[in-house]
Amino acid sequence: MKLVWNKVFNNYWSPYVAMGLAGVLSALYFGLTSTVWAVTGEFTRLGGHILEFFGVDISGWAYFNLIKMNGTTFTRTDGWIVWGMFIGALITILLSNSFKIRIPKQKRRYVQGFIGGVIAGFGARLALGCNLAAFFTGVPQFSLHSWIFIVATALGTYLGAKVVSTTWWKGKPILRKGSGKPASPSRKSARIQPLIGALVALAYAGLILYFFLTGRTMLGIAAIFGAAFGILIERGQICFTSAFRDLWISGRATMTKAIALGMAVSSVATLFIILYYGLEPITKIAAPSTFVGGVLFGVGIVMAAGCETGMMYRLMEGQVVFLPVFAGNILGATALAYAWDHMGIYNLLVKSGSPINLIPVMGPAGALLVTLLLLGIGFAVAVYWQKNYRFGTGFKKERGL
């Protein structure tokens, strides 16, 4: 029993396993709800509710009408996907005795995280999705906009890596006296955190049961899947920022390969569900906004040191710096909602585009084949990159050249 506990809670999981399971679960969630695993759409709605609280009339804002403001964050499935992710991550963090308030040594990190969050939130909503709806769950929906977003995000993270590597961004290092050894958790903490985690899990299970007993089945399903996604991203330490940023900085590609594998698994499972149940794949507009939004998103997540998923579980770990990142995400997404029609963003960058799905264009088999081929190429490039790229020197030179 202790061995199983250690494997599940005291050791992080393989990102390949975590992403593979996330791919299967995201396909199942689509089959049950006809919606996808996503977070920044709900961040935008939260921004809208905050504006309404302060008396702002948003009924005429085109973007809020597009994403629909029905109900509250606690009566929407998208809301419980988000809160479920927070809670699921928190449960496993507590059960593994990993929660600890962490304050950055450099106060500038709060400002940098906030600015990065604003840019990432703005870019994500401009592209109509973040690292989930426009990436991990967008590709298995065979929406062309996802591939544009991936290329743009790669470019954005490269630019972001250049920014954060500069001296003016890093600031002066702060040296503090210390033993050089990591602090061990106290015996009291080792007992209390798992107990609190178990109580939180029990209370959350009771909430899910309440949803089902009161006929709010979709909320119950969303709460279950939200928690499952939260557990997977925390145990697998899944962060789309590192999947790109690490390529440019250290050459490490483990997360890149894991995400590609997860999308391949999800693509197969999602296509089966689409064909078996006759569902319409969710297709977003492919337009200049997709590329511009992807670049901004990539820059922002590197500046913030975490994407939306990474930010969520790190915040639950007690990393205080991700509070301004979260706030920045909401502000940036809300700013885009205003700029959409009030500042002409839609007419300038979105109106010329159209939703394109690979299934009608290529047929189901062709769409799946092309998707798996592109993911396979991405995986192979990541393998080559990790093998040959070295920090500070770039690619290894071939002998004899």
Sequence letter at residue 228: A
Q: What is the DSSP string of 17-63?
A: HHHHHHHHHHHHHHHHHS----SHHHHHHHHHHHHHHTT---TT-HH
Give bridge partners of residue 331 from the DSSP assignment: none
Contact (Cβ atoms closer than 8 angstroms) between residue 276 and residue 153: no
Q: Ramachandran region of residue 36, left (φ > 0), alpha (ψ -120 to 50) or beta?
A: beta
Written as one string, the DSSP assignment of 224-285 is HHHHHHHHHHHHTT--HHHHHHHHHHT---HHHHHHHHHHHHHHHHHHHHHHHHTPPPP--E
d(CA 21, CA 242): 19
Three-class SS state of 319: strand
pTM of the complete model: 0.93
Residue 113's nearest CA partner among 365, 297, 323, 278 is 323
Q: How far apart are CA 276 and CA 329, in angstroms?
A: 37
- In this prediction, residue 401 carries a pLDDT of 38
With both helix axes pointing from N to C terminus, report the angle between 187-213 and 217-235 in degrees, rounded to the nearest 10. 150
Q: What is the pLDDT of residue 358?
A: 98
Question: How far apart (Å, rounded) are the C-alpha atoms in residues 308 and 90?
Answer: 15
- Each residue's pLDDT expressed in tens, for the chain with a length of 401 residues: 666 666 677 789 999 999 999 999 999 999 999 999 999 999 999 999 999 999 999 999 999 999 999 999 999 999 999 999 999 999 999 999 999 999 998 899 999 999 999 999 999 999 999 889 889 999 999 999 999 999 999 999 999 999 999 988 888 766 666 555 545 555 666 789 999 999 999 999 999 999 999 999 999 999 999 999 999 999 999 989 989 999 998 899 999 999 999 999 999 999 999 999 999 999 999 999 999 999 999 999 999 999 889 999 999 999 999 999 999 999 999 999 999 999 999 999 999 999 999 999 999 999 999 999 999 999 999 999 999 987 666 766 554 43
H or E element in which residue 313 lies = helix 308-316
| Residue 181 DSSP symbol | S
Alpha carbon of 351 to those of 72, 122, 192: distances in Å? 29, 18, 55
DSSP for 348-393, written as a single string: IIITT-EE-BHHHHHHHHHHHHHHHHHHHHHHHHHHHHHHHEETTT
As beta bridge partners, residue 165 has: none
The H or E element spanning position 105 is: none
388 vs 317: CA distance, rounded Å: 34
